[in-house]
Amino acid sequence: MEDLPEVLLAEIVQRITRTSDLNSLSLVSKSLCEVEANQRAAIRLGCSLFSATETLSSLCSRFSNLSKMEINYTGETLSFFSYIDDSGLSCLANCKKLMSLTLNSVPSITSRGLLSVAIGCNSLSALHLIDCKKISSGEWLEYLGWNGSLEELVVRNCNRIRQPDLLKFGPGWMKLWKFEFESKVEIDDMLGFNDPLYDVHNPSACDFLCDNLKDLRLVHIQARSELRLCLLLEKCKALEKLCLKYVVSLTDNDMIALSHSCNNLKSISLWLMPPQYVADDNDFLYIPSVTDHSLQVLALGCPMLQSVELTFHEGTFYLPDIGLTLECVRILIQSCQILVLVLNGADFFDDEGMMVLSSSPFLETLELAVNDQVTDAGLTELVHSQKLDSLTIEGCACISPQVAQGAARSVHYSLESASRSRLSRI
C-alpha cells in the first residue's frame, strides 16, 4: 500500500462512505492515514467525546480540510455535557475550510465560544443552533452579519436569543438564502401575548434587505415585534418556501404583503393559532388570524404555488369561526397548480370539498388529518377521478380503510393521527 501513488489512494478513499470503514482504513498504513485525513470533509461528535479540548484540537489538526461539523448531545445524560465547552469549541477556529457547523443540545457553549468560531472560520456558510441554553445574541451575531459569509442560519429553542435580537444580524440578512427561528413557548402561554418591546410608532424597525432569502421558517414568534412579519415578507422577493407555525398576531395584512412581494412562492405551510376573542355585551366575539381573503389574494399573487398546508390547533375545533371556509380551497385549486395539499384539523372541509379536489387537474398528494366531516361518499369522488399518486388519511373516523385504498396509488390510513400527536408536542 505504501508504494501506491497518492492519487490512487485518494480514489480508493473517496469510494468508501462508512465512517467505521474509514477509521479502520486509516490504521492500515501511514500513507492511507494521511490521505484519509485530507479527504475527510465531515465529522459528527457526540457523547463519546472525552477531554474535549485536547480531542477537538487533535481532530482539527488531523482533518485540516473539514468543511462540516456537527456536535450533537441530543438525548444524552447531563454528565456528558461537561466534555465540550468554549475552550474546546475555539479549536474549530483552526478549521479554515469549515463551511457548516451544527450545535445540538450543547448547553455549555456560550456566545464567547461561538464568537471564536465566527472570527476564525471565514468560510462558514451554514450555522445551526438547537437547544443551546447559554448562547445569547451578541458579538458573534453582529460579526457574522458584518464580516461573515453566512447563507443559512437556523436557531431553534435557544432561550437567550430573542426575536428582536435578530436585528443585530444587520447586513448579513442580504446574504441569507435560508432562515429558521423557533422559540420554545407553550401554546397556552402565547394566547393573549403582547410583545412589550413592540413600538407601533416605529414601523421601519426591521430596515434591512433580504432579497436572496428563499426558505423561511418561523415558529412561535410575535408578528408585531421589532422584527415585524409583514415588513420582513415585503422584502423577501425571492422567497420560494414559507412555514409559519403559531405566529401570534398573524393577520390578513401579513398574507397580503406576502402575495404582493413573493411572486416566486412555491410552498406555504400555515399552522394557525385559535381565534382571539374579545368581550362584547356579555358575549364573545372571535377574531380569526387569517380569512378567506388572505388565501384569495395569495392565490392571485403567487401563481407558482404548488404545495399548501393548513393546520389548526386542536383548541380551534370548538370555536364557531376559524376564519377559513371551503371557498379558500376552491380558490387555490382554481388559481394555482396545486400538487400537494395538507389539511389538518380543518373541520370546514367536507364531502363538497372532496368534489372540488376531484376536479383539480394537478393534485397529486393529499393529506387529510383529524376530520369528521369527510365521509366515504366524498372520498369516492377521488376514487372515480383516479388523480392521486399519494393519499394519507389519519384520524378521520368517517372514512373507511376499504374506500381509502382505492383512492390513490399509494395510501396510508390510520385512525390515529401522528400529525396531531406531533402538533400537540410543539
Task: Tell me the domains of the chain and their CATH numbers.
Answer: 1-39 (1.20.1280)
Can you give the pTM of this predicted structure?
A: 0.83
Cα–Cα dist 287/92, whole Å: 50
Per-residue pLDDT of the chain (426 residues; tens, 9 = 90+): 666 676 676 666 666 667 677 667 666 666 666 666 666 666 777 655 555 567 777 777 777 677 888 888 776 544 444 467 888 888 888 888 899 999 998 888 999 999 999 999 999 999 999 999 999 988 999 999 999 899 999 999 998 998 888 888 989 999 999 999 998 765 544 444 444 444 444 444 556 688 899 999 999 887 766 567 877 888 889 999 999 998 887 888 888 889 998 999 999 999 987 766 555 555 555 566 788 998 999 999 999 999 999 998 765 444 445 578 899 999 999 999 999 999 999 988 999 999 999 989 899 999 999 999 999 999 998 888 888 999 999 999 999 999 998 889 999 999 887 655 444 333
- 8-state DSSP, 390: E
Q: Which residue is listed with cell 498504513?
A: 29
For residues 307 and 330, the answer to whether their CB atoms sit within 8 Å is: no
Residue-wise DSSP of 192-244: T---TT--TT-TTTT----TT--EEEEES-BTTSSS-HHHHHHT-TT--EEEE
Cβ neighbours, 10 Å, residue 255: 26
Closest alpha carbon to 276 in 221, 315, 231: 315
Cα–Cα dist 6/263, whole Å: 51
For residues 174 and 151, the answer to whether their CB atoms sit within 8 Å is: no
Residue-wise DSSP of 180-193: EEE----HHHHTT-
Instruction: Determine the straight-line distance between the first and last CA of the chain, rounded to whole angstroms.
Output: 54
φ, ψ for residue 288, nearest 5 deg: -70, 160
Residues 6+ apart with CB under 8 A from 100: 42, 67, 68, 69, 124, 125, 126, 127, 128, 152
Cα–Cα dist 426/422, whole Å: 7
**Beta strand 68-72 pairing with 42-45:** parallel
Closest alpha carbon to 380 in 357, 347, 348, 346: 357
